[in-house]
Chains A and B, each alone.
Chain A
Amino acid sequence: MVKDFYCGTSLTSCNSVICLRFSAACCGCGVVVGDLWIGAVGTMITLTNLTAGYDRRPAVHHLSGTFAQGTLTAVVGPNGGGKSTLLKIIAGFLRPLSGSLQSPERQNIAYLPQTCEIDKSFPITVFDTVMLGASRTLGMLRGASPAQREQCLHALEAVGMVAFANRPIGALSSGQLQRVLFARLMLMEADVLLLDEPFSAIDTRTTADLLQLMQAWHKAGKTIITVLHDMHQAAAYFPESLMLAREKIAWGATRDVLCEENLHKARLMAEHWHETAEACAL
């Protein structure tokens, strides 16, 4: 794997910084090490003793760790466990109360919030909604090029919504709207994708299709962090998992994280709430 990565054939086969360091030290096939190193750091997300929350109450408490480049991670845990808060922090919507976060610049992050404030009666077509994803490259004045319109159609095709391109979004079901938002995410061309419970209130067929799409993004080398409720989905589709119940319960390979012991620990943490908590000594 190391050799494969180092000879430049596949960047995605390497998924940890330690591996990169190791390869830099041991492999001698002459590829410029510096560039690869910078590329890897570019889409890696490192949390150092991060605490975040609202009104002094920590929702994420002293969390440290790394989402390595190209990983597909499910963030699981009980309600109120800080999963959404963590995504908001990484997306730059919320500032940490303490600790630090190293993440790629915002242009390289695409974020799909849990409750989008989209007004479905807004007079906009499906095609234009997806095209908004290209706003970063288009800037605020330029019109879309034929290539970008083509790309937009490809994205719509990938989510199975081409036939709806010219319809107003008011005509869509919530599952169809989610497909459209996935297509918009694709047009943003970001290397880091953050999705907050993308499958809540979505039918099984759509969920299956969109999970397939995420697999394809993973193969293309994207770093993907998804908040999930369904442990079976996490187990079936996500190589890595982070179990969060305000504090980190476990983080690593999904099969190790989703064990009965960790689930029990998470439940205990969720039920544990001090009305009059003291200031944290850490």
Chain B
Amino acid sequence: MFDIISPFTDYAFMRKALVSCMLLSLGSAPLGVLLMLRRMSLMGEAMSHAVLPGVAVGFVVAGLSVPAMSLGGLVAGVIVAVLVGLVTRHTSLKEDANLASFYLIALALGVILISLKGNTIDLMHLLFGSVLAIDNTALNLVAGVVATTVTVLALAYRPLIIEAFDPIFLQSLGRRNSVYHLLFLILVVLNLVAGFQTMGTLMTVGLMMLPAAAARFWAQRFLSMASVAVGIGILSSIGGLLFSYFINVPSGPAIILVAGGMYILSLLFGRWGSIRARYFPFKHLQS
């Protein structure tokens, strides 16, 4: 019988990892729901690659320093987001094509920058993270980003929802869609950057999108959907960390695999639109 409490009470790094992952769930999962509702589920994936050259510049300049790499990643992510927005608005190419182009350029640039100074182990560390490396600086960064995310989401809730739901309507209200769009993308980048120490940039996207996709099968309103997503994120964090502790596998992928399991369970047995609901519905109601 596994003792699921003692790993966290015995080891400080497990506690830090747990707090960090639970906080990340709180910030990332609602953003993931918004991304999914905008049909931009792959956007997070693309942005996670786009931050790489900035992280690399931080790495080249200051070595494995959390603040330097985070700042670099944030700058690179925002530059890509702004460039994609500008090119989409002023040319006929659609957003997804522009995003794909820019993130690939950024990814190649990032890999080249890292290979100039570091080695493949550094690269792996940046892409997949390491819970053992979470120090107080990294934890503060995560806490700060999550606090910012939750505050901005609360303040810009209505325009963000309207923009996802009916962008033309928001425009007809005389609001500048691009402002909210950019604000939203900055939040996404911030959360990816905050997660790179814990999960790595690639795996942080998983904590953003998988709980959101799973929550789709359990709720029909945005707030409940976001709450379910946060809950699934937190459960996955706990489960994944224990999984990685007992089986001795990397924590990032372990957390994402647990979240993936929840997604598969949800799509099979969820309340709304799941396989169960579609093919084995309860008895129909009176007309």
Residues of A bordering B, CB below 8 Å: 91-93, 106-107, 109-111, 113, 116-119, 122-125, 129, 132, 135-136, 138, 140-141, 168, 170
Q: Let me know if A136 and B173 touch, CB within 8 A.
A: yes
Stretch at the interface among B94-102, B127-135, B138-146, B151-159: B151-159
Q: A118-B165, A132-B162, A140-B159 are in contact. Are A123 and B172 (CB under 8 A)?
A: no
Q: Let me know if B168 and A113 touch, CB within 8 A.
A: yes
Of chain A, the residue at the smallest CB distance from B155 is A141
Complex Cα spacing A265 to B228, Å:
60
Q: List 14 A-B contacts (CB under 8 A).
A: A107-B174, A118-B165, A122-B37, A123-B37, A123-B222, A124-B161, A124-B165, A124-B221, A132-B169, A135-B158, A135-B162, A140-B155, A168-B220, A170-B220
B7 within 8 A of A: no
Task: Name the one of A110, A113, A122 contacting B164, with C-beta atoms under 8 angstroms.
Answer: A122
Task: Report chain A residues within 8 Å CB of B169.
Answer: 116, 132
B85 within 8 A of A: no
Task: Report chain A residues within 8 Å CB of B137.
Answer: none
Q: Which of under 10, 10 to 19, 20 to 34, or 35 or more describes the interface residues of B?
A: 20 to 34
Task: Name the one of A107, A110, A113, A119 contacting B165, with C-beta atoms under 8 angstroms.
Answer: A119
Task: Report chain B residues within 8 Å CB of A106.
Answer: 172-174
Q: A122-B164, A140-B159 are in contact. Are A93 and B37 (CB under 8 A)?
A: no
Task: Report chain A residues within 8 Å CB of B171.
Answer: 93
Q: A107-B174, A123-B225, A141-B158 are in contact. Are A117 and B166 (CB under 8 A)?
A: yes
Task: Report chain A residues within 8 Å CB of B71.
Answer: none
B39 within 8 A of A: yes
Of chain B, the residue at the smallest CB distance from A122 is B165
Of chain B, the residue at the smallest CB distance from A136 is B173
Q: A123-B37, A123-B221, A168-B220 are in contact. Are A140 and B164 (CB under 8 A)?
A: no
Task: Name the one of B39, B159, B172 contacting A111, with C-beta atoms under 8 angstroms.
Answer: B172
Shortest B193–chain A CB gap in Å is: 27
Write the B207-226 contact mask toward A (1 if CB under 8 angstroms, else 0).
00000000000011110010
Q: Let me know if B166 and A140 touch, CB within 8 A.
A: no
Task: Name the one of A119, A136, A141, A168 contacting B39, with C-beta atoms under 8 angstroms.
Answer: A119
Write the B163-190 contact mask toward A (1 if CB under 8 angstroms, else 0).
0111111011110000000000000000
